[in-house]
Structure 1
Amino acid sequence: MKKTLILLACAMFSMTMSAGIASAYSIDYQRQLLGNGGFTTNVTGALVETFDATSLNWNWSGDYKIRNTSSGISAQPYGLSGVDTTNFISVPNNSSSGSVTAVEAVNLGSLYNYFGLWWGSVDTYNKIEFYKNGSLVDSITGTQAISPSVANGNQTAPSTNLYVNIYGLKDFDSFKLISTNYAFEVDNIAVANIAPVPEPGTMMLLGVGMLGLAVFGKRRMNKEA
């Protein structure tokens, strides 16, 4: 009986770990509406880079431009009331392709598994890469963030100008914004470390396992009695 209990406990642990490992990041489009009609994260406690006067102390490098108006190669993200009226980042700047890496002093200050951004005119050639200690751990493209048929770079459509929340990323301490054409326009980038919520399947496995342990324990007590 003792051996059976040990085997059952091991099986429960293995199934729980497998379920957790198999999970990938998830996406939704919940946002907080700003007074100017723009979008930002609704995640409590997230660090938000606005590119304005109170921007975070992140070190930026690469082919990019901080703008507050549209140009011949980029357009302001579009919100509920019209175009973004604050600063935003555009990648690339003056070449056909480019990337920008954001690293705060002391590696973003922590490891994060959530990333949010007000993504303007989402294009198929926009991409975000996430790194930990210099190694690539995750990535997402415009066609993965929204429907591939919709990622057409429309500069005013709600379907291509939205706040994208990416949960459950592998831990990262830096990221790159990459675009192989004009352009990748972003504002109000948010990062946070959110405790993972067990998946329903994982909870069910734990419940079944605990029930099994209880049944075996009761049978053992009855036999001893």
Structure 2
Amino acid sequence: MKTLPRLAIASSMLVAQLAAHATVSAGHWSASAGNAFPGLDINLSIRIDQTIDGDFTGTFWNYNAQAGTLRYVTTNIDEGSTLFLVKPGDVVSQAMVDAPGVNDLGNGEAAVVVGREFYLGAATSSLSDPGVTWGNIEQRTSFGWALFQAQADGSLKILDSAMAFREAGIVVGTLQAVPEPGTWALMGLGLLGLAVVKPRRR
């Protein structure tokens, strides 16, 4: 019977340890107007940090403030990132990378209507992340979101943003990471163990 209390305590400690290593941080997005690649129809650069230390990757866009449209043009030649059109409460995770559905910003062939104030979600990874290689680079390890607003001159300003580094995902509009499925299982085991232990102490 001593196994159950030990299991409950170990599970609780492991879950606490995992939570302590959650790396969710406000910011880590930037945007600038202008054309980084003359000859391409670009007027917006969006940079997203791939690591908490600030190693960033960039994507390049054409934003039409009058029409409220955004069109993908190109990306940096590095680990890269994928951006999505999202709304508060959406979960940006590997599931969105695998099946973007309504969140898809397209492949650059057509502009997507986003309006003058909108959220973008991002999925990225770094070769410095454990297990990430060029062979599995599409398995993303960091996720984030940013709220953009069009200014009077047609440029875009970031009002708020966040990134969850080495996490399973993030809830748009919050600093809430999405736990790995294994974390939920451990939490359930811990609660079950505590529920079994409590009646035995009466």
TM-score norm. by structure 2 comes to 0.37
**Structure having the higher Rg:** 1
Question: Higher RCO, 1 or 2 (CA under 8 Å, sep at least 6)?
Answer: 1
Structure whose residues are more often strand by fraction: 2
TM-score norm. by structure 1 comes to 0.35
